[in-house]
Structure formats: structure tokens, C-alpha cells
Structure 1
Amino acid sequence: MTAAETAAETAADGPGLWPLYRELTDRVTHTDLTHAFRPGQPHFPGFGDERRTAVYDIGNGDDFTVHRYSLVGQWGTHVDPPAHFVAGARTLDRVPVREMFLPLVVLDITARVEADPDSTPTLDDLAAWEHRNGPVPSGAFVALRTGWSRRWPDAEAMANRDEDGVSHTPGWSAEVLRHLLEEADVTAIGHEQADTDPGSATSVGDYSLEAYVLGYDRWQVELLTHLDRVPEAGALVVASWPKPHQGSGFPARVFALHRQ
């Protein structure tokens, strides 16, 4: 190949990773899995509401607009690093960027949740997924699809409490989490509901499944949405967040890349 031909090929295809970038932008669907956060949205009872004020406002004649935000880290679609539950564990700034771009596995129990909101995934659900798609990839991000995000931002519907104050919401199961973390060696998990543990557990102060995940040095994203728009296998997920020094949680921006 002559120098002129090489130059022409480089111009057509681009050097390095640029051709892959075009592949991932021109021929791939991008699905946002994130709720936009705002004051007044559902949140843990012990948290105060978000406060947002305009420090500068173009509408009031200023040259630019700047907002001051006051909110807890675990707000809206957010990331929980291990340090959220474990003293001395990894904080947000210690999660490497290579863990933020992962194969996406979607485990769907929506139909069962519609009949029973206390539903959790079983090893049979996982086995059925693997029968259709092969083993869960090592290092994957596994998202539990429950349909619960359709209730957002109705706080009462999200909590789904009965007359005794017990919350009936889906969650993970210990057997599935043990398999994913200890056998499949996944990097992170995510879910549509507000907690890792089902509502029947959190109603009595039991967050043992979340403690297990974070204690295993894995991170998670809570309050995902639009999992119904991505395939159960074959997609990639990008999960990113700011980098507060020793941060214990923060709103996250999460999106999937997948074939149309």
C-alpha cells in the first residue's frame, strides 16, 4: 500500500478508536436509564427534600444562570459504593472508570411482580436467562427489571404500604445475589425500586441484602428506569457520577447502548 493509499484509508476509517466510536453512535441505540431528579420526588423518610436556589438567573437580568443544589447523596437514580454500608470500604472516588462501562444483563420478573409486588428473583429465573443467552458475563452489570419505575414519581405508589404500614415492593433475593457475586463475579447490580431488599424486609429495618452486596466490595445503582426498552442480553451500560473525595453516594447518569 502506498503512502497515499494509507492516508486515504486513515481519512476514511479514522485512527485508533474513532471507527468504533462511529459504530457505537451511528448504528446503536442509546437508552437513558436515569430519572431526572428534582425537589419533591420520592425519597427515604430520613432524608430531607432537595433545595434548589438560583445564585444567578438570566431571567432576572444576570449574565448567566447558576443553581445551588442541596441534597443527600442517595438522591434519585444514584450510585451506592461499598462505603455506603461498610466503614473503610471503597468510596466513589476509588471506583475506577473501567468499572463504569460494562456488559448489561437484564433479569426480568415484571410479570410476576404485577401479580405479587413482594416478588424476588429465583435461581430458576437466572437459569432460564442463561439457557437463552449463555452464562452471565464476568464483570457484568446485572439489572433487576420489575416494572416498578412506572410508579415514579408517585411516592405512595413507590412505597406501596398496606394499612399496617408494611411496604410491599419487589427486591433481590439472597440466592440470586450470592450466585451473581460469588459465582458469576459480576461488577455491579442495579434495580428499579428504591432498595436492594424487598419492602417486607426494609419495613422492619432489614437491609441485609444491600449490606451483603456492598460488603462484597461491589457497587449498585438504585431507581433505574426504562429497562423495558433494552434487551435482556447483548447491551452495554455506562454508569457515571461525579467524583467527590471519600463520597458515600451521589446521583448517577446511567445509559445503555444496544442494537436497534
Structure 2
Amino acid sequence: MPLNPATTAAAVEPPLWALHRELIDKTVRTDLTHAFHPGQPHFPAFPDEEREMPFDMSRGDGFNVHRYTIVGQWGTHIDPPVHFVAGGRPLDEIPVEEMILPLVVLDISARVATDPDAVPAMEDVAAWEARHGAVPAGAFVALRSDWSRRWPDPAAMANKDDAGVSHYPGWSAEVLRYLFEEAGVTAIGHEQTDTDPGLATSAGDFSLESYVLERDRWQIELMANLDQVPEAGALIVATWPKPQGGSGFPARVFALHHSS
């Protein structure tokens, strides 16, 4: 009498496959990535994306192929240490062990709604830790500002005043020092174009981004949908291509979490 295939498969199912089924059945997958395209918001010194189709089925070719001309820091992207640090780690030297991390969401969106120049304070971190315990070592900490709701409008993202000064949120030195030097986090991310707030970048000050990358850490910029994930308890998966010696590249980032 033949064995029941379902019973046999269940009896010998590898543990990781069982874990995958459990993750699929019991978690939500939230994309934290913008789709990139020509004309999108970007750092003003960078050229716009150029996109061509050397092979196009609408012209009678047998397949579609795009050629993309972009800077590495394009759309939702990773900044590895070498982006600001000569001799720092490039993309191909960041191990896959750093690509699946506990996700901490530090939410300052309520303040940003009334003050676009808002930055996180240690009081925000203390309040998070009072609710959830210490920021876990090795975590990815994302700054939620809801600034990504302005995507893909370049003017709304830059938010310049009549004098050409940008007003958008960013990190603060005190919070970054705590996260990297005391909590021991692996990486950070944010919704705006820069680590530093708009008031700083408008003056040519990128000292906070330098601080992060000089510590041999990396970051994800221009994240999306942080309002759809819990502030604690989720996992983040951050992936990107592997150009040898690469100083930046568009990333695909998503979170695994329980439904609210």
C-alpha cells in the first residue's frame, strides 16, 4: 500500500521549510521600497536617470531589455561605508548576515507634521525603550517621519523656502551616538534624501552621514511605508546587487511583521 505523500512530506519536512511556512502564514510582508524612475526626487548634484530599450518587443524584437543609466545613490538605496570613507567597506564586502535584522522604528512623524525641521531626541529613544526594552544590539533603526508621503514630488521632498534652504527632517548627533556607541546597532534608515536635516545639507553639512559611515556602518535612504510596520517586533530584510567595490546601489527592502 503506497504511503500518503502528504503524511510522508510532513514527517520529513526540513525545519527551515517549516519555518518558512510559519512566516508566510503568520506574518505580513511590507515593502519599504520606492520604485525608481526618471524624474524622481534625488540629491541635487546627481544627474537624472536615463532609460533606453535596446531591445523592444513593440518594435518587433523577441524580448524586452532596458538599459539604465543611474548613479548608485538612486531611489531607495544603500550607502556603504566607502561612499564617504576612502578604503571603507564597499557593497560586496557587506555580508549577508547584516541583511536580516531586528527592526526598530523611531517615530517622530507627529512633530514633523508641524515642524519639518524636527529631529529625534534622546527623549524619543527613552520613550521607545520604556515601551519595548533596550534597543537590541545589531538592530536596524529606521526614522519614521512620514516624509515619504511626499514622494515622488521633488519640490515637496526638498521643501525649499524662498531663500533656497531646504526644510526636511533628519537625524540628530545625540541619537546616532547612542544608537551606534551604546546600543550597538548595525544600520539605520530614513525616508528623506539625507541623514542630515535639510537645514544642515543646505549649508553643505553632511557630518551625520559621515559619522555613520566612518563607523563602518551602512544606511538605507529614501525608505517608504514605515507607517505600516510596528515600532518594535518586526524583522527587516535589506538586499541589493553586488557590484565589486560598489559605493552605492538601489536596494529592495521589506519588513516581516505580525498584522496590527
Instruction: Give yes or no for the alignment of 1:71 onto 2:70.
Output: yes
SS at match of 1:21: helix
Unaligned segments of structure 1, at least 5 residues: none
The alpha-carbon deviation at position 11 of structure 1 amounts to 2.3
Partner residue in 1 for 2:218: 219
Match of 1:84 in 2: 83
Once the two structures are superposed, what CA deviation does each residue of 1:5-56 show, in whole Å capped at 9, x if it has no partner?
9x94752571130000011112110000000000111111111110110011
Using a 3 Å threshold, how does the CA distance of structure 1 residues 183 and 115 change in structure 2: closer, same or farther? same
Q: TM-score, normalised by structure 2?
A: 0.96
The equivalent residue for 2:55 is: 56
Amino acid at match of 1:99: E
Equivalent position of 1:19 in the other structure? 18
2:163 counterpart of 1:142: no
* Greater Cα offset, 11-20 or 125-134: 11-20
Distance 2:168 2:67 in 1: 33
TM-score (norm 1): 0.96
Pairwise mapping of residues 85-164 of structure 1 onto structure 2 (< 5 A)? Answer: 85-164=84-163
RMSD: 1.4
Give per-residue Cα distances to partners, 1:58-79, cap 9 Å, x unaligned. Answer: 1211111111000000000000
8 Å contact 1:169–1:198 — kept in the other structure?
yes
Distance 1:102 1:13 in 2: 29
The residue that corresponds to 1:166 in the other structure is: 165
Q: Counterpart in 1 of 2:201?
A: 202
Percent of pairs identical after alignment? 69
SS in 1 for 2:236: strand
* 2:74 alignment partner AA: W
C-alpha distance in structure 2 between counterparts of 1:11 and 1:43, whole Å = 49
Q: Structure 2 unaligned runs (5+)?
A: none
Partner of 1:186: 185
Amino acid across the alignment from 2:223:
L
Matched positions, count = 256
**Amino acid corresponding to residue 83 of structure 2 in structure 1:** H
Residues in 1 aligned to 2:176 and 2:119: alpha-carbon distance in whole angstroms:
11
Question: How far did residue 57 of structure 1 move?
Answer: 1.0
Counterpart-to-counterpart distance in 2, 1:60 and 1:29? 40
SS of match in other structure, 2:15:
coil
Corresponding residue for residue 40 of structure 2: 41
Q: Measure the CA separation in 2 of the matches of 1:60 and 1:27.
A: 45
Structure 1 position 248 matched with structure 2 position 247 = yes
Identify the residue that residue 236 of structure 1 maps to in structure 2. 235
Structure 1: distance between partners of 2:215 and 2:93: 15
Contact 1:138 / 1:185 at 8 angstroms: preserved in 2? yes
